[in-house]
Amino acid sequence: MTKPAWVLLCCIGTLLATCGPSFAAPTTNRAPTANMTKIILEHLKLESKELYEDYKKNSSGEVPIDQSLQLPCFTLGCHASASISIIQAYLEEVRRLSENRIDTSKVIKRLRDITCSDISCSNPTKPSISGPEKFYERKSFKLTVLKQFSDCMEKLKPKDRIC
């Protein structure tokens, strides 16, 4: 091999090793690292609080929290998948009831990003949630879901291992 070919091969090899993913490693369904999880959780804390405060500020009149509705909270790990899927279903229903004016898609994606995809973890099916039909009860439902989710995220602490 010629000297320029060796130099080119070494440069490309180094570039691929440091900048690109491994050719043998899958790029999807990998559990996030502890550092990535911590960053995702910080974003979730801010975004969940922002969703709740924006809705509360923009809702007309005083809307009570529905004490009968209890959104699950979660701790990271295999058992979080069930709670996260329930929370995602509630957030999707909030978006549907608000006719997409409350955009929960970023938060739902971040929740999906911290869900353990390990085979040893159970991956429950997402439940079907249907909110109330009456206008005032819908407002209370949306406020309650956003508040409880924001409170849950505020209490959540990252762990070193997710799965």
Angle between helices 80-97 and 105-114 (to 10 degrees): 170
Residue 92 backbone zone (phi > 0: left; psi -120 to 50: alpha; other: beta): alpha
Q: How far apart are CA 27 and CA 21, in angstroms?
A: 7
pLDDT score, position 22: 36
Q: In b/e form, how buried is each residue of 111-142, taking b as 16+ CB within 10 angstroms?
A: beebbbebeebeeeeeeebebeeeeeebbbbb
Whether the pLDDT of residue 19 is over 90: the answer is no
**What DSSP character marks residue 160?**
S
Cβ–Cβ < 8 Å for 34, 160? yes
Domain ranges of the chain: 31-62+73-155
The per-residue pLDDT of the chain, averaged, comes to 79
Say yes or no to pLDDT of 9 above 50.
no
Write the burial class of residue 148 (CB in 10 Å: 0-12 exposed, 13-18 middle, 19+ buried). Answer: buried
Q: Is 150 exposed, middle or buried (0-12, 13-18, 19+ CB in 10 A)?
A: buried
Res 8: pLDDT: 43
Query: pTM of the prediction?
Result: 0.75
